[in-house]
């Protein structure tokens, strides 16, 4: 039996010896990263640190950052509120709560605030008094899943603000407490580079990294590792459906010949997808719409091959049918006509093949067998099935409902995906049903890998996934019940199996790298952190300068519809609202698009109302561009995504996925100036 070391004064919060060990430096006020495995109680340790911090800092303010919205309520209701709410004001703020619109006031009136990193970042850059927050107002900043403090992620943006203030000599900065089960090594395979990755994480959080070194036996007893199994299936003996898709793709290759300098690799692989993405860019750059559009269609066929490799043939066919349904009424030229007619000519044969059960995917049978090892009408079980895409989670959910054997075994599935395709309230509803047992098989994308608190989960299955060592560790940690199992369902010698073995090695390398960092001379460690922090601040300032100045004048850059390549706007038409929404302020732009279905969200915004989706109105193009927004009940503006456009620059044509990568500077939107021009009666 494990010894309970001590009791939190204001709750039933008890720390184990290994938890007491890892909080000591944080209790002394040092910036600390706590590294413990999933299920070991990192959050409970953080609650204890927060409590002791508030006891010794009468004016203390604790902010707890999470990286997913459903974790806001989980941390509030299961950890911080039960332990602290009787003596301190504890508040949870998320994107669906009205408190977000006066975040600054909420922080100043509270002792503990739990929110997403994005909400705090928005408050730090806000110019509105009710929303704005200064880092100096926070005395303890707890960063959950702190391994996300890297590159351009929001945690790192917050810490970059911290770092710049630190280098300017500001002393009233918060103490940092990071929590992670999986620091990772960023795919590095050598110990030296793995150590450097861990040092960069420590530098980004300005922290030491601590782990249980004296109480490992207790930790191993408290957090047993699940049994890892490889459920291997042999290669599909025949795949006429996939072969037929490849035949269609080969006809497209012939149609767009020559390919130029690009060599297309094996169809039905991630490498082929990278090749056709590059091919599309080359088509845009070379003013070659044949090449560009063929690349778009080839990518869809390759996606269908990947679906066919993971799911059912009918799922792959339905994916293509949905794509071509939109294309049949958006034919612009002979290239579109060829591609649409090519699919129509082959659709009947594909439908026939998709119905032939002799050629169904053997991986699905192995997945069914794996689930049936756990589920039966007489046994209460709970499992998470991780899959790669939103579509695959829906298809797997339908497959479970269609499976007679799984239904007889009492499997009750539901799927959960990210907020791009699922409302936050729906997410929370499904996760709640899973916790309560109304759902016993949660089919999820990576949204459920981190932080989901389900101790009873006794099976985790990874299916059709190629991910890094962090995602694998996080998924493994979801299996918390006694005698739980972790299964990889994959083809023999396939890429998933090879990646799984690599991740196991990288997990071991992470442990070695952290041990190396912990054994460094303290003075040498601090010097290395200072060096890395100086480099990071310099790079950040350089990037900010480039974004501010741009490579080209905004007026010299044209935006072209990515589908029909018609010029529709200039870079100087684009302005940035509240540091997050890119809108076109040129009133003539409204002549370039049609307004369609109303965008519906499950949350409200203080200054924003969302309007209809907008699409290109050049002939039959209908390319989606974004949606209209009504700002402050006055300014009706088209909010556009740059990924739907090609950029005509003085250096030629190019494409980018995100606005942060554009080669020109964007001015900030001024509501006052907009009203002076378009609504002068509203301005004094």
pLDDT digits (tens, 9 = 90+) for 213-269: 999 899 988 888 888 899 999 999 999 999 999 999 999 999 987 766 678 899 999
**Could you read off the pLDDT of 538-575 as tens digits, one per residue?**
988 887 776 666 789 999 999 999 999 999 999 999 99
Cα first-last separation, the chain: 74
Q: Which two tokens stand for residue 147?
A: 């391994």
Q: What is the mean pLDDT of the chain?
A: 90
Predicted pLDDT of residue 260: 63
Select from 159, 39, 38, 69 the least CA-distant residue to 419. 69
Q: What are phi and psi of 224, to 5 degrees?
A: -70, 145
Whether residue 177 contacts residue 142, with contact meaning beta carbons closer than 8 Å, is answered with yes
- Considering the chain, what percentage of its residues have pLDDT values greater than 90? 70
Radius of gyration of the chain (CA): 27
* DSSP SS3 for 361: coil
Reported confidence tier of residue 484, pLDDT bands at 50, 70, 90: confident
Say if CB 612 and CB 324 are below 8 A apart.
no
How confident is residue 11, by pLDDT bands cut at 50, 70 and 90?
very low
Note the pLDDT of residue 541: 84
d(CA 282, CA 449): 36
Of the candidates 608, 616, 526, 613, the one whose C-alpha atom is nearest the C-alpha of residue 569 is 616
DSSP E strands, 376-481: 383-386, 413-416, 441-444, 459-463
Beta bridge partner(s), residue 413: 441
Q: What is the DSSP string of 537-578?
A: HHHHHHHHHHHHH-SB-GGG-EEEETTT--EEEEGGGEEEET
Percent of the chain with pLDDT over 70: 93
Alpha helices in 355-423 (DSSP H): 362-372, 390-402, 404-408
Q: How far apart are CA 270 and CA 275, in angstroms?
A: 9
Task: Give the separation between CA 471 and CA 465, rounded to whole angstroms.
Answer: 10
Structure tokens at 522: 């303290």
């Amino acid at each position: 039996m494990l010894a309970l070391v001590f009791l939190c004064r204001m709750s039933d919060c008890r720390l184990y010896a290994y938890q007491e060990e890892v909080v000591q430096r944080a209790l002394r006020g040092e910036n600390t990263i706590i590294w413990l495995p999933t299920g070991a109680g990192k959050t409970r340790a953080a609650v204890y640190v927060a409590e002791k911090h508030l006891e010794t800092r009468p004016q203390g303010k604790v902010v707890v950052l999470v990286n997913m919205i459903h974790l806001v309520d989980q941390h509030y209701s299961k950890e911080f509120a039960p332990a602290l709410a009787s003596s301190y004001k504890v508040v949870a703020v998320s994107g669906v709560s009205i408190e977000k619109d006066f975040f600054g006031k909420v922080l100043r009136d509270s002792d503990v605030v739990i929110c997403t990193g994005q909400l705090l970042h928005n408050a730090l850059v806000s110019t509105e008094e009710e929303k704005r927050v200064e880092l100096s107002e926070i005395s303890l900043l707890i960063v959950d899943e702190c391994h996300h403090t890297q590159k351009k992620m929001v945690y790192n943006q917050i810490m970059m603000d911290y770092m710049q203030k630190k280098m300017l000599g500001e002393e009233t900065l918060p103490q940092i407490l990071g929590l992670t089960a999986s620091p990772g090594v960023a795919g590095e395979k050598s110990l030296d580079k793995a150590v450097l990755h861990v040092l960069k994480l420590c530098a980004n959080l300005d922290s030491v990294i601590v782990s249980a070194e004296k109480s490992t036996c207790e930790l191993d007893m408290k957090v047993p590792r699940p049994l890892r199994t490889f459920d291997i299936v042999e290669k599909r003996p025949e795949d006429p459906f996939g072969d037929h898709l490849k035949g269609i793709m080969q006809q497209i290759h012939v149609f767009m010949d020559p390919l130029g300098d690009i060599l297309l690799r094996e169809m039905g692989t991630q490498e082929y997808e990278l090749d056709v993405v590059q091919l599309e860019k080359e088509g845009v750059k070379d003013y070659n719409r044949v090449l560009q559009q063929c690349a778009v269609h080839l990518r869809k066929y390759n996606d269908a091959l990947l679906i066919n490799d993971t799911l059912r043939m009918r799922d792959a066919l339905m994916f293509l049918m949905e794509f071509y349904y939109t294309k049949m009424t958006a034919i612009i030229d002979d290239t579109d006509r060829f591609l649409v007619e090519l699919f129509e000519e082959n659709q009947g044969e594909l439908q026939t093949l998709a119905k032939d059960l002799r050629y169904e995917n053997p991986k699905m049978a192995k997945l069914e067998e794996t689930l049936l090892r756990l589920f039966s009408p007489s046994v209460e079980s709970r499992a998470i099935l991780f899959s790669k895409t939103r579509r695959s989670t829906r298809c797997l959910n339908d497959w479970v409902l269609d499976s007679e054997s799984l239904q007889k075994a009492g499997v009750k599935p539901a799927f959960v995906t990210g907020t791009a395709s699922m409302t936050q309230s729906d997410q929370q509803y499904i996760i709640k049903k899973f916790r309560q047992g109304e759902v016993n098989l949660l089919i999820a994308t990576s949204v459920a890998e981190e932080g989901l608190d389900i101790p009873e989960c006794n099976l985790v299955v990874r299916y059709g996934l190629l991910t890094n060592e962090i995602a694998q560790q996080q998924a493994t940690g979801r299996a918390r019940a006694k005698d739980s199992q972790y299964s990889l369902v994959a083809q023999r010698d396939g890429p998933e199996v090879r990646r799984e073995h690599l991740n196991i090695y990288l997990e071991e390398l992470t442990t070695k790298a952290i041990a190396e960092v912990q054994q460094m001379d303290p003075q040498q460690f601090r010097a290395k952190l200072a060096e890395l922090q100086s480099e990071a601040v310099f790079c950040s300032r350089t990037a900010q300068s480039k974004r501010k100045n741009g490579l080209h004048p905004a007026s010299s850059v044209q935006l072209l519809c990515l589908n029909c390549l018609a010029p529709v706007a200039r870079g100087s038409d684009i302005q940035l609202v509240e540091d997050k929404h890119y809108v076109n302020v040129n009133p003539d732009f409204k002549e370039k698009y049609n307004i369609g279905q109303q965008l519906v969200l499950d949350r409200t915004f203080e200054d924003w109302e969302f309007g209809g989706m907008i699409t290109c109105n050049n002939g039959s193009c209908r390319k989606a561009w974004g949606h209209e927004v009504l700002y402050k009940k006055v300014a009706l503006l088209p909010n556009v995504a740059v990924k739907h456009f090609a950029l005509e620059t003085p250096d030629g044509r190019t494409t980018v996925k995100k606005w942060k990568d554009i080669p020109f500077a964007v001015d900030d939107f001024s509501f006052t100036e907009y009203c002076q021009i378009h609504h002068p009666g509203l301005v004094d």
